[in-house]
Structure 1
């Protein structure tokens, strides 16, 4: 360690500039999430290096210097609140630490803010460099996003190789707005402040020449002003195209409706535990499926599972409860109060970042925050805090204390980088696995699956994919045998099936409150009904657990009813099908299966009525319409006079997929489902259970 302390500070500032430039534009097409995950990894790595440099600097100076701002305590309390919610509400404590936008992200941003505060008062030169770094990033982001949006809107056609090699990866229009709005406030600050000043003087002159001669932030050269103006114009073009796409698209917005987000957040506070600490970070999906209102089935989002809420505040309330929300509101209110005071009191080099932080808070009121949105908020908070008169510096001359801080920093850095790198490597392998599966490279997929689970066994999605892979190989092997299966093949199939079930059970143990995990396990058992003894009962048990976790899902009701149907338990099948159409009145497949069950029971009059309901829903010229019409004719033949009563969906009667194996396979006891008495993946919620229709 021969470098002088100020060299370490300069290096930290350089890292801050690099991070600030890359946050808007950085992506790596190596994982299924090429935008948020690489940004999160970049944030962790650079923050870790900056923390290490600060700790080394303390040792070099043989003293500990701490800069404490008015935001340090509120932000620390909010961070602690999310960590407490993690331990109280989440069954899987690791997954939220590794997921972008969850607990790990907030802890990283707290450390980032703390380290930036240790720079002391930010110089005018550093502030200018930060804005120019953002300007360069904004130009690239806006240009690339605009090109992709223009192609989406059919105005241009990009070369095919760009899509093939994923050369242009951009956020969707909604996410772009969460990044572009704070960016525009930061980069357009000189022009915004000058415009406000002119309006205050009742002298409005917004010509290019007057904008270039901005007096709002003195000390800027014409080149720097031109760069800021150019980046602002690029952002305005991108925002305009994004807004145009959102308002002209016929597709529903990829955003949970506000009324649904509010309903889920408020319903979660009915119980003391969830009221105080929420369902746990990373558990919004579980909360959504358990307590979403049945009315969602009448919207285009009826078959969408949302992992995030309508906006950041609803997300915080749902996952961390009233404790987390009040702590965040306290922090946000202080940022708002201090920021507005700064804006009205004086204008300086930090003003643009204050506007960016306030813009990020405003975005969070309406949309879920991206990594970039959080970054603009915390960068503004760090720079604003450094200039605040109440900021104080604590010094303690102690080489022992300095070494303790270095040790503590390493205690944070080493596990974070080690486990974070393993998690990222697992994501890279997971994408490669899916590519191998698409190319029918089973051996490659199996090897990578094994590597993934050694690197990061805490992601239930990995285990779900693995379970499907093993089952597909088993089905393929069984289907190839035209004649009686020999003993060696039976043993191989049995091992594959056993591993498929094991992976699916690991998924439900890692994410016990996720209904889709239980649905996956039930689907595997269901495909084995013709091949494995006891698979029918296992299927019923797991589907019933899935229904408990997602009671307003009409598809699950049809699946459960389908199992009853194949077991010839028609009354129970009819009940589930009736619940499915009660939950979604235009669910064609629900009516179709209801008609099939009523027909098998011998109630031809009601079966005909259900099939007529199908004909009212499906498109007239579709194959489904012809299919339903033909079956209705067959039903009507069995009863001469039937009184008539009063979305393109695939009509499919209940069947058990998978080859039939004779004699059936016998699996060991580990294959049986383990149904918890009470869901433990998230705190038990007050869920609206739909009333069963009268039979």
Structure 2
């Protein structure tokens, strides 16, 4: 992928667009300029509400959620600038006071605070900023709607976007593929990437549509609104039914409720390294994946179909808030709920009811960014409804900078009477300048993040097509554009090692050109450095330490102390994912490679204890026992593997061959083996198993040389903590 714009050009476009807008408005009449800004804000918000549920990018690493987050960030910055510019022309700052302002500010401060003190800061802040942008979007919408026409425009836009996404779901379910992208040609495709999340998003729109349709029919009103709500009701009801059907048929995988509950409270009570911070602010918003690996119990391995999966979301949004934002996060969330319940009207209001339905859903289901978007937009529309209906709970507060005896800042209710003081544009200008700089900063890094993500995703396509050079260039570009994602470094380290291995294989050892040898060494060093950087950026992610260990393991006999580094880094990975039997098998494989059979046996036995039906652990244990000469127990382990592999033809054939080869070696050792086998068969039912294989390093053709090359050690504890 070629770079469309240079890094500085984004800022140039941003500044020039602002200047043109300001100059254009300055030559207009004041009232006309304010009117244009109001209409522009309403139009942009309307476009956002329509596009949001429909947007996806097949060339992004996260096809569905990530583009929506970028869309909200960019549109929110634009809307904030327009709102502040309108305040400059009005020479005052008008803020709409409402019951939700303080709870949402409290919630946003807690989310941001949890990210700032998180040990996974970079991972957390990437997730927190889109949520913070939703809070600002709520603020903009609430302070922009001042008449019925703008309220209706945004309400219909929210409904239209949802209905269009529902229509896409129905068309694809009928195998009518309207998008030209081959990867979308599936009957179960939707623009959310998740049937559960689309069902959550559509549910309040379904309730709103049915409510207004029933009222129109009851009052015998026949106009365009009847047609609108009839169609929206039809499409949302049908799509919701289809989504429920798909959820049941596909058996959508979510973290079991009890495991989500256990991890939530373990996260805030069992973090020995920072007990107080974890209790108060959790692990950091958006970092549930590290909570899952660190605090899940060994009993999770009893879940046959999902034991080897990694969950990035908890069972429910509420449990995820407990784990990632701690006590303060839960207090702020309950504070918001209390305010929502307190603002109910005497008559049923469908917006209020829809908000309550989503809040209830947050205690039962996992929420993604799309669900939170719907929740905050419904809250913004409900507050606007209260304002338009003259509720005492919602009113304008004007802040001006005037020369008063009481001071420079004057705060009054807009309806409290006329002020004779001359208003000043200084305070609105100050706020406008701050928003421009902060918006420019956030927008700049957002665009860099977007471009880097697109480049990284394209590099993976080149990896699949074996175009290593192009993949290398694109991944290097992605890291240069946004050097704060551990995923980039982890994959880049693997690519560098693969390229070094491939280059070494293409060079004859006896006549290797010096420059080619230097290139191999440089690629290996870069592979290690990239894997180390992934660990530094996300020190609590077990996958990063596991990847670094694999790089070191592949360099045993090539790099100095690679064996020690491999053990040390994998031990650290195990400390962050102690209930994962696969890591113990991998560590046992390293010891097996060193012929340290007692250590290897110990690791494989831990793996079998963690998961009693894990055939690959027994397979590796059997080979270790066979290498030690303990043939009877080796046979017992192999027979357990055979019992677990009855439904896997390839595994069964492989283990039968090994049993047949081992049986002649056994003389008089079978009684103990038979007893062990009977005990294990009683405890281990036949389950679906992974392919049998010995834990071993990747095949490589790296030159060993007369002496191992010097390689960088793993990051120290203090370096990883930074």
Which residue number in structure 2 is paired with residue 96 of structure 1?
124
- The 3 A distance-change label for structure 1 pair 32 and 404 is same
Listed one character per residue, the Cα deviations across residues 566-588 of structure 1 (whole Å, up to 9, x for unaligned) are: 00000000000001011111111
SS for the counterpart of 2:696 is: coil
- The one of 271, 276, 281 equivalent to 2:280 is 276
Q: CA deviation at 1:363?
A: 2.4
Counterpart Cα distance in 2 of 1:354 and 1:627:
62
- The 3 A distance-change label for structure 1 pair 294 and 443 is same
Tell whether 2:609 aligns with 1:582. Answer: yes
Structure 1, 593-602 or 528-537: larger mean CA deviation? 528-537
Which residue number in structure 2 is paired with residue 263 of structure 1?
262
Which residue number in structure 1 is paired with residue 445 of structure 2?
419
Q: Give the conservation status (yes or no) of the 8 Å contact 2:289–2:310.
A: yes
Counterpart Cα distance in 2 of 1:278 and 1:69:
29
- The one of 60, 76, 81 equivalent to 1:47 is 76
Q: CA deviation at 1:138?
A: 2.6
- The one of 140, 151, 154 equivalent to 1:130 is 154
- The one of 158, 174, 182 equivalent to 1:163 is 182
Tell whether 2:600 aligns with 1:573. Answer: yes
Q: CA RMSD in A?
A: 2.3
- The one of 136, 159, 183 equivalent to 1:111 is 136
SS for the counterpart of 1:65 is: strand
Counterpart Cα distance in 2 of 1:301 and 1:502:
33
Moved over 4 A (4+): 156-162, 164-169
Which residue number in structure 2 is paired with residue 330 of structure 1?
335
Which residue number in structure 2 is paired with residue 290 of structure 1?
294
Which residue number in structure 2 is paired with residue 175 of structure 1?
197
Counterpart Cα distance in 1 of 2:719 and 2:277:
15
Counterpart Cα distance in 2 of 1:269 and 1:164:
40
SS for the counterpart of 2:362 is: helix
Counterpart Cα distance in 1 of 2:554 and 2:646:
31
Q: CA deviation at 1:483?
A: 4.1
- The one of 525, 532, 537 equivalent to 1:505 is 532
Which residue number in structure 2 is paired with residue 361 of structure 1?
359
Tell whether 2:701 aligns with 1:659. Answer: yes
> Residues 129-208 of structure 1 correspond to what in structure 2 (within 5 A)?
129-150=153-174, 156=175, 158=177, 162-163=181-182, 170=191, 171-191=193-213, 194=215
Unpaired runs of 5+ residues, structure 2, are 1-24, 270-274, 401-422, 679-687
Which residue number in structure 2 is paired with residue 28 of structure 1?
57
Which residue number in structure 2 is paired with residue 223 of structure 1?
224
Q: Give the conservation status (yes or no) of the 8 Å contact 1:83–1:103.
A: yes
Counterpart Cα distance in 2 of 1:346 and 1:325:
30
Listed one character per residue, the Cα deviations across residues 432-480 of structure 1 (whole Å, up to 9, x for unaligned) are: 1111111112221111112111111111000111001111101111222
SS for the counterpart of 1:365 is: coil
Give the number of equivalent residue pairs.
Answer: 640
Q: CA deviation at 1:353?
A: 3.1
SS for the counterpart of 1:366 is: coil
Q: CA deviation at 1:360?
A: 2.3
| TM-score after normalising by structure 2 | 0.84
Q: Give the conservation status (yes or no) of the 8 Å contact 1:95–1:459.
A: yes
Structure 1, 470-479 or 385-394: larger mean CA deviation? 385-394
- The 3 A distance-change label for structure 1 pair 620 and 72 is closer
Counterpart Cα distance in 1 of 2:203 and 2:633:
56
Which residue number in structure 2 is paired with residue 692 of structure 1?
none
Q: Give the conservation status (yes or no) of the 8 Å contact 1:311–1:366.
A: yes
Q: Give the conservation status (yes or no) of the 8 Å contact 2:97–2:396.
A: yes
Q: CA deviation at 1:481?
A: 3.3
Q: CA deviation at 1:482?
A: 4.8
Q: Which has the higher contact order (CA 8 A, sep 6+)?
A: 1
- The 3 A distance-change label for structure 1 pair 290 and 35 is same
Counterpart Cα distance in 1 of 2:719 and 2:442:
33
Q: CA deviation at 1:667?
A: 3.4
Q: Give the conservation status (yes or no) of the 8 Å contact 2:500–2:520.
A: yes
SS for the counterpart of 2:285 is: coil
Listed one character per residue, the Cα deviations across residues 67-110 of structure 1 (whole Å, up to 9, x for unaligned) are: 11111011101111111111222342x44333xxx311221112
Q: Give the conservation status (yes or no) of the 8 Å contact 1:132–1:228.
A: no
Which residue number in structure 1 is paired with residue 710 of structure 2?
668
Counterpart Cα distance in 1 of 2:455 and 2:307:
32
Structure 1, 535-544 or 369-378: larger mean CA deviation? 369-378
Tell whether 2:334 aligns with 1:319. Answer: no
Listed one character per residue, the Cα deviations across residues 198-221 of structure 1 (whole Å, up to 9, x for unaligned) are: xxxxxxxxxxxxxx5244xx9x75
Q: CA deviation at 1:548?
A: 0.7
- The one of 85, 90, 112 equivalent to 1:83 is 112
- The one of 372, 375, 391 equivalent to 1:374 is 372
- The 3 A distance-change label for structure 1 pair 169 and 244 is closer
- The 3 A distance-change label for structure 1 pair 229 and 372 is farther
Q: Give the conservation status (yes or no) of the 8 Å contact 2:621–2:634.
A: yes
- The 3 A distance-change label for structure 1 pair 608 and 679 is farther
Which residue number in structure 2 is paired with residue 392 of structure 1?
395
Q: CA deviation at 1:41?
A: 1.3
Counterpart Cα distance in 2 of 1:180 and 1:163:
26
Structure 1, 127-136 or 490-499: larger mean CA deviation? 127-136
Q: CA deviation at 1:116?
A: 1.6
Q: Give the conservation status (yes or no) of the 8 Å contact 1:541–1:675.
A: no
Counterpart Cα distance in 2 of 1:485 and 1:547:
42
Listed one character per residue, the Cα deviations across residues 160-205 of structure 1 (whole Å, up to 9, x for unaligned) are: 954257797532222221211122123323146x4xxxxxxxxxxx
- The 3 A distance-change label for structure 1 pair 118 and 620 is closer
Listed one character per residue, the Cα deviations across residues 274-301 of structure 1 (whole Å, up to 9, x for unaligned) are: 1111011232111110111111112111
Counterpart Cα distance in 1 of 2:204 and 2:707:
60
SS for the counterpart of 1:279 is: coil
Q: CA deviation at 1:236?
A: 1.5
Q: CA deviation at 1:158?
A: 4.9
- The 3 A distance-change label for structure 1 pair 375 and 34 is same
SS for the counterpart of 2:692 is: coil
Which residue number in structure 2 is paired with residue 11 of structure 1?
40
Counterpart Cα distance in 1 of 2:101 and 2:124:
23
Counterpart Cα distance in 2 of 1:626 and 1:665:
42
Counterpart Cα distance in 2 of 1:636 and 1:541:
37
Tell whether 2:467 aligns with 1:464. Answer: no
- The 3 A distance-change label for structure 1 pair 160 and 479 is farther
Counterpart Cα distance in 1 of 2:485 and 2:570:
22
- The 3 A distance-change label for structure 1 pair 296 and 267 is same
- The 3 A distance-change label for structure 1 pair 499 and 234 is same
- The 3 A distance-change label for structure 1 pair 162 and 506 is closer
